[in-house]
Amino acid sequence: MRVLGITTNHNASAALLINGKVVACASEERFTRRKNQTGIPKAAINFCLSEGKLLPRDLDRIAVADLLSAPLPGEAELPQSNLLSWLTKVAVAVEEFSETRFPSSRKLFYALESLPLGMLRLNSQNRRLKNLLKILPVEKNRFKFIDHHTCHAYAALFASPFLKDMAAKKKRILILTADGAGDRKSATVSLYRNGRISEKHSIDSQQSLGFFYLHVTKLLGMKPIEDEHKVMGLAPYATDKLKITALYNKLAHLIQFDEFTNTWKMPVNTYLFASLIPKLMGSQRFDHVAAVAQRLTEDHIVRWVKRNLTKWKTRTLAVGGGVFANVKVNQKIASLPQVNNVFFMPSPGDETNAIGAAYFLFVNTKKRPHPRPLAHLYLGPSWSESQIALALSPMRTRKNLRLRRPKNIAAEVARLLADGAVVARFAGRMEFGARALGNRSILAHPKHREVVERINTAIKNRDFWMPFAPTIIRKYAGRYIRLHKADSPFMNVAFQTTQVGQRDVAAAIHPYDKTTRPQLLDEDVNPSYYAVIEEFRRLTGIAAVLNTSFNLHGEPIVASPADALRVFFRSGLRHLAIGGWLVSKR
């Protein structure tokens, strides 16, 4: 069975599922070069079809995330009397969402709650279907629109390793989703047992923990739905415990968890937080604001998790939705004594709803076996050595460059890293999601703290407080991090570091709280990247490298050889390993 999953929200994406296995997945931003591109992901859809060697007519079903969606760029408008700024409704200034996300749009959106839900759903689905049929000209009955949080839940459960065998159907697994809002919900509680998922409880979008964090992000002058990780990174810098506690207590009444109703209770609609939060926090130090927002979020998520583990009598948990992009929240969950097994959906924002939507249709079409777990995220496009050589051919005459093809490119990259060089790596299939996992990465020696400033100055231009992260060979992980109950192949959960880790991976940990969000790597998942780190270990004794995404600040991760070369020439990078070639500036 061939199922195409699509999401048109921020960071619009497409995923192709063939016989239960995700064989291709990509976000539109990688092709358009507009970060967090929103709309119909035409290029991503075409990539998935090409990767699967399919025409639209070959697809059995097409799963589209969200029953309800804001109008997309270029779509027909509702009557003028219903026109309101949807983004203002959620209290995010329209200018924050520039042409990067909504190219050629009029930047006007409707208050989705100003019309009856049934009418809104029909209008939303008809609009999107009309545009999708231009790209996928098949019968309308092949399309199905699926609830937003249902997509998050299916993605988290079926991507996890918990259902590898048929005996797993007897398991009881708790599935939690939490984000800003989707289909009028901000969070859901679902239970898997006897081979089926059932939603047990939901929290309304007007009581949204995700929106609280979004408004704090905006208050601090950062981009909502993009820079929340910067708030998390800033939080540990706050050290005045008395002032932090006072501010925490001042805000505690805004968000309260009611264990009886299993719901966050807020005295005002969270859509109004944009005007309320600046009044309560606007005069506070920026690091104190970040620390309190992070602590409130951690405390309430942990209480919610504990309550539901107890209520549904299980110790196995899968989670999805943008709130769980917060690696410190995830660390708190993974450390709970009530948790035996936990899976954090990688890149859990709306982009992975393309996967969740495809899983939903696969599972619920007749009596299909469970889909295969998500073994890795190397699901994007790749380029052959001949294509890379063609892209490099104009460079051969440039006197300021040295192009060579080493016998062992992995060993050459490892040697450069061991000597203190920073090397960009472009190899194999592009990663899907927010994290670079070695194939579109900038690598460096993890022990040398000075490399952080060098990368920021020459290439990344990141905020000074944001830490980098390491890739660690899994079998050596215990040397560098204090292991807990969560795995970390996707850089989506934080760990405390050991004394050895604080010495040998100093450039890839948070300088204040000494945590890190590692990628733990197995050889069979990415043999060529593993070979680089193994050779680096042989040279230095350290089984880890610093790994950050290969992109300029504010841009999507590079996708093509042309992207890689553009970033290479526009930055202070001196070495680029691209396929089997090594390009160096003289």
Q: In the 8-state DSSP scheme, what is residue 312?
A: T
Q: Are 34 and 364 in contact (CB under 8 A)?
A: no
Mean pLDDT of 575-580: 98
Inside any domain, residue 376: no
- Rounded-to-integer distance, Cα 358 and Cα 158, Å: 11
Q: Are 419 and 447 in contact (CB under 8 A)?
A: no
Q: Are residues 74 and 196 in the same domain?
A: no
Residue 78 has pLDDT above 90, yes or no: no
CA angle 177, 232, 530 (to 5 degrees): 80
Confidence of residue 89 (pLDDT cuts 50, 70, 90): very low
Q: Are residues 136 and 229 in the same domain?
A: no
Residue 545: in which H helix or E strand, if any? strand 544-549
Q: How high is the pLDDT of residue 87?
A: 41
Q: How many CB atoms lie within 10 A of CB 503?
A: 12
Inside any domain, residue 475: yes
Q: In the 8-state DSSP scheme, what is residue 369?
A: P
Burial call 292-310: b when 16+ CB within 10 Å, e when fewer: bbbbbbbbbbbebbbbbbe
* CA distances from residue 481 to 407, 433, 508 in whole angstroms, order as listed: 34, 24, 12
Among the ranges given (54-63, 247-256, 305-314, 526-535), the one the predictor scored with the smallest mean pLDDT: 247-256
> What does the mean pLDDT of the chain come to?
90
- Rounded-to-integer distance, Cα 6 and Cα 16, Å: 9
Confidence of residue 113 (pLDDT cuts 50, 70, 90): very low
Q: Residue 240's closest CA among 293, 295, 287, 294?
A: 287
Q: Are residues 176 and 128 in the same domain?
A: no
Mean pLDDT of 72-92: 39
Of the candidates 289, 315, 344, which is a domain's last residue?
344
- The residue behind tokens 């539901």 is 308
Mean pLDDT of 109-136: 69
Mean pLDDT of 427-444: 98
Q: Are residues 291 and 389 in the same domain?
A: no
Residue type, 131: N
Q: How high is the pLDDT of residue 270?
A: 78
Mean pLDDT of 453-470: 90
The CATH number of whichever domain residue 88 belongs to comes to 3.30.420.40
Residue 14: in which H helix or E strand, if any? strand 13-18
Q: In the 8-state DSSP scheme, what is residue 407?
A: S
Q: Are residues 337 and 401 in the same domain?
A: no
| Helix, strand, coil distribution of the chain in percent, nearest 5 | 40, 20, 40
Q: How high is the pLDDT of residue 169?
A: 66
Inside any domain, residue 370: no
The CATH number of whichever domain residue 479 belongs to comes to 3.90.870.20
Q: Are residues 100 and 232 in the same domain?
A: no
> 430 has which bridge partners?
none
> 581-585 and 575-578 as β-strands: parallel, antiparallel, unpaired?
antiparallel
- Residues shown for the chain: 586
Q: Are residues 132 and 229 in the same domain?
A: no
Q: How high is the pLDDT of residue 109?
A: 34
Residue 567 tokens read as 């970033």
Mean pLDDT of 220-227: 91
Residue 570 has pLDDT above 80, yes or no: yes
Mean pLDDT of 40-49: 98
Residue 527: in which H helix or E strand, if any? helix 527-540
Inside any domain, residue 324: yes
- The residue behind tokens 């660690």 is 472
Report the sign of the C-alpha dihedral through residues 70, 74, 80, 86, in that order: positive
Q: Are residues 258 and 211 in the same domain?
A: yes
- The residue behind tokens 């609830």 is 147
The alpha-helical segments, DSSP class H, found in 58-193 are 86-89, 117-135, 148-159
Residue 104 has pLDDT above 50, yes or no: no
Q: Residue 353's closest CA among 297, 433, 430, 429?
A: 433
Residue 450 tokens read as 């000075």
Q: Residue 186's closest CA among 177, 198, 174?
A: 177
Q: How high is the pLDDT of residue 414?
A: 99
Burial call 191-219: b when 16+ CB within 10 Å, e when fewer: bbeeeebebeebbebbbbbbbbbbbbbbb
Confidence of residue 277 (pLDDT cuts 50, 70, 90): confident
- The residue behind tokens 């699509």 is 6
Q: Residue 68's closest CA among 18, 124, 130, 24?
A: 124
Mean pLDDT of 160-175: 82
- Rounded-to-integer distance, Cα 155 and Cα 149, Å: 10
Residue 414, classed as helix, strand or coil, is: helix
Inside any domain, residue 580: yes
* CA distances from residue 529 to 21, 93, 259, 468 in whole angstroms, order as listed: 23, 42, 46, 18
Q: Residue 107's closest CA among 131, 142, 83?
A: 83
- Rounded-to-integer distance, Cα 349 and Cα 11, Å: 9
Residue 503 has pLDDT above 60, yes or no: yes
The alpha-helical segments, DSSP class H, found in 136-240 are 148-159, 209-219, 228-234
Q: Are residues 557 and 417 in the same domain?
A: yes
Q: Are residues 254 and 400 in the same domain?
A: no
Inside any domain, residue 357: yes
Inside any domain, residue 371: no
- Rounded-to-integer distance, Cα 176 and Cα 171, Å: 16
> 469-473 and 519-521 as β-strands: parallel, antiparallel, unpaired?
parallel
Q: How high is the pLDDT of residue 115?
A: 44
Residue 498 tokens read as 């050991």
Q: Are residues 210 and 113 in the same domain?
A: no
Confidence of residue 106 (pLDDT cuts 50, 70, 90): very low
Question: Domain of 263?
Answer: 161-344
- Rounded-to-integer distance, Cα 139 and Cα 133, Å: 9
Inside any domain, residue 254: yes
Taking only Cα atoms into account, the Rg of the chain, rounded to an integer number of angstroms, comes to 23
Of the candidates 344, 376, 407, which is a domain's last residue?
344
Give tens-digit pLDDT for 176-199. Answer: 999 999 999 999 999 999 889 999
Q: Are residues 292 and 395 in the same domain?
A: no
The structural domain count of the chain equals: 3
